[in-house]
Amino acid sequence: MSRHRNILIFLLVILTMNGCGEPETGKAPPVKPFAAADAAPFVRLALDCSVQEYPNKIAHTMRSDADAGTPRSFYPAFFGCFDWHSSVHGHWLLTRFARLYPEHPLAAEARTVLDSHLTRENITAEAEYLMTEGRASWERPYGLAWLLQLATELREWEAEGSVEAARWAEALRPLEEACVARLENWLPKLTYPIRTGEHSQTAFAFGLVLDYARTTNDSTLAGLVEGTSRRLYAADIQSNLRYEPSGQDFLSPILAEADLMRRVMAPAEYGAWLADFLPVVPEYGDETWLPVATVSDRSDGKLAHLDGLNLSRAWMLEGIAAGLPENDPRRPALNAAAARHRDAGLAAVTGEHYEGGHWLGTYAIYLGSNRGLTSP
């Protein structure tokens, strides 16, 4: 009897320790990751986009005729998609799939694209473009954060023994370091958070950057992001989801902030902060407290953003639940709402319209592979 009692006490001690110190991000996700067959349609979308230069929306400031050019001349690695950041996170999708499902036929195609695009020559040109005078705010923070997420995936894969990932990670290093430099220069000067539902939002980008900094053991960047997050968000209270979404959001300002802060705070502190910040979350398993976003026209690129909102809300809700103590009564309602958004979001990623097809696959894979919650 005493032996069983000692075992029980030991287990309770271990569980208690999980509520102390650094925020816990390795809890088991509420939904199993995709199988390869589930992920394959989204990979096909990214493969097609990765080499499709046009249509292309470039964010390029010209000072003279000498600055004229094509997407491929500006971005020799990440030219193939509607815009640079979508190309970057499309390459992240290919990397993650090839890492998780190396035997799938599409993994070989993904490795071919990565081998062709992630070369020292291409990435050097990309880094020079980013660091050119007058481009301090270019792709900040969304594109920079996704580039660091790509670096995160390659670094983790390299640590598993992949020679290819090591080669690609080394090639990517100049652009990775340029992105870090841009962010480290910017964050101390950021007086206010950016609370939009699109690319300029700070909370979502901070989450990706913090995941990168911890993976790479960059304590300087991690400390800067953690400190900035607390400075900008820790005092927030009484957020109101009634005013979301805006008509072309693909990120929730409120949920992204909550998903960020579970990375910054330990569960006990986070649970108390969330009660003040997001009091609307019910303490019972209701799934209707957060309605799914409705998309009226998926051929309209801005309106189609709302499909991405359903996907990103799903992983943010799962992340918020995972950041709370195990016995927190809000977890069932958070996971129930996440499931509804997951189902609606994934059903919309068909590739029927390029407006959504060029980027929604990334959001589907990020959600379906539990990227924001655990590493494989």
Q: Is residue 140 situated within a structural domain? A: yes
- Which residue range is the domain that position 132 belongs to? 30-55+71-368
- Cα separation, 324 vs 271, in Å, equals 6
Rounded Cα gap, residues 250 and 143, in angstroms: 15
55-87 pLDDT per residue, tens: 999 999 999 999 999 999 999 999 999 999 999
Q: What is the pLDDT of residues 182-234, one digit of tens each?
A: 999 999 999 999 999 999 999 999 999 999 999 999 999 999 999 999 999 99
**Domain holding 152: CATH number?**
1.50.10
Q: Report if residue 300 sits inside a domain.
A: yes
Q: Cβ distance 221 to 188 under 8 Å?
A: no
Task: Tell me the per-residue pLDDT of 272-282, one tens digit each, with 9 for 90 and over.
Answer: 999 999 999 99
Residues 130-155 have a mean pLDDT of: 97
pTM of the model: 0.91
The answer to whether 123 touches 172, Cβ cutoff 8 Å, is yes
Q: In terms of DSSP H, where are the helices of 53-132?
A: 71-74, 84-100, 105-117, 120-130
Compute the Cα dihedral for 139, 43, 323, 215 and give only its sign.
negative
Q: Is 63 within a domain?
A: no
What's the chain's average pLDDT? 92
Q: What is the pLDDT of residues 126-141, one digit of tens each?
A: 999 999 999 999 999 9
pLDDT-derived band at 33 (thresholds 50, 70, 90) equals: confident
User: Is the predicted pLDDT of residue 28 greater than 70, yes or no?
Assistant: no
Residue 66: inside a domain, yes or no?
Answer: no
Span 8-28, mean pLDDT? 39
pLDDT digits (tens, 9 = 90+) for 302-338: 999 999 999 999 999 999 999 999 999 999 999 999 9
Average pLDDT over residues 38-65: 94
Note whether residue 147 is domain-resident.
yes
pLDDT band for 239, please (50, 70, 90 cuts).
very high
Look up residue 303 and give its amino acid.
L
The answer to the question of residue 10 being in a domain is no
In a domain, 15, yes or no: no
Question: What is the pLDDT averaged over residues 160-189?
Answer: 98
Domain count, the chain: 1
**Predicted confidence band of residue 6 (pLDDT cuts 50, 70, 90):** very low
Q: CA end-to-end span of the chain, whole Å?
A: 38
Residue 373 lies in a domain: no
Task: Tell me: pLDDT of 21 over 50.
Answer: no
Q: CA torsion 58→60→66→68, rounded to 10°?
A: 20
pLDDT number for residue 287: 83
Please report, for residues 47, 85, 210, 270, the alpha-carbon distance to residue 23 in angstroms, rounded to integers and kept in the order given. Answer: 36, 29, 12, 9
